[in-house]
Structure 1
């Protein structure tokens, strides 16, 4: 019976090592994911948004997006209004047609 116990002891030590390695790997993976989130959201905090956007009378905003030198507002009247980031002036007006 002692031969069986020695085998069981070796097997248990092997399983313990595998579980330890898996645990360390999962912890490192979790920390890497947290670090990526922190770095990505840190970049988002630096995004400069305009203080105020002057929209045409009676128009409500449904979405907002931005590019390098412009920002766009999608309105409830199915239009996209593209403004200059530097001047804040309306650059382009795009009508969205429904099919």
Structure 2
């Protein structure tokens, strides 16, 4: 029995194989990066709010947002109460139409 010689691979096929390998590597690195960023983002504790917030009587909070030196509470009666983060004092009250 005679051994058949190995077929010669065309240059275009070698180039295509290198492109596919490179793309696979880039996609794996990108996926690992995205997963790492998501994990780091969800470990974040979020904004620091005071342990106790004094609200006017009968007010129920619907949403909370924060900024530099302040935090705001959106109430169910369509008001926005803006408090100072350090002193906890009410800075401003905005009535929504």
Matches of residues 42-81 of structure 1 in structure 2 within 5 Å?
Answer: 42=43, 44-45=44-45, 47-81=47-81
More helix by share: 1
Give ranges in structure 1 of 5+ residues lacking alignment.
Answer: none
Tell me whether 88-97 or 49-58 shows the greater mean CA deviation.
49-58
Encode CA deviations 1:33-90: one digit per residue, 9 max, x unaligned: 2333344445x32632221222112211111011111100000100000111111121
SS of the aligned residue for 1:18 comes to: helix
SS of the aligned residue for 2:62 comes to: strand
TM-score using structure 2 length: 0.76
Q: How many residues align?
A: 90
